[in-house]
Amino acid sequence: MLNANGPGFAGLYAGDVVEFVSNQYGIGGDRKVRAAVLPLLVFADHVQVRHTPFGFTVDASNFVRLVRRGKRHIEADRQAAITALRLKALERV
């Protein structure tokens, strides 16, 4: 499985919003749902999201795409970009 950060779910953080297929409703068939990733429940092969009162497992079989980054990941991406720019500036000197 491939997502925006490469293979697997390792690049996802709590608060990221993912889209997945949910067959929870049975008779109506499968439908696409969006939900936020729960804190501390990101694993190499699946994540738990806020979809039911007890969470819902999203893995390679029902994952569709990453919809939106959470605040923590946006800040981490910003810090990584700043660090990369500083390293490039140091290489020029």
CATH code of the domain in which 75 resides? 2.30.30
- 59 contact partners, CB below 8 Å, separation of at least 6: 45, 46, 47
In this structure, what token pair is assigned to residue 31?
A: 């439908």
pLDDT the model gives residue 43: 76
pLDDT the model gives residue 26: 61
* Structural domains of the chain, count: 1
Amino acid at 11: G
In this structure, the dihedral spanned by the alpha carbons of residues 77, 80, 85 and 91, taken in order and rounded to 10 degrees, is -160
pLDDT the model gives residue 3: 47
Domain that holds residue 28: 2-92
Dump pLDDT digits (tens) for 1-41. 444 444 456 677 778 888 888 876 666 567 888 888 888 77
Dump pLDDT digits (tens) for 54-78. 888 888 788 787 787 766 666 667 7
What residue ranges in 1-93 does DSSP mark as E strands? 2-3, 6-7, 17-22, 31-42, 46-49, 56-59, 63-68
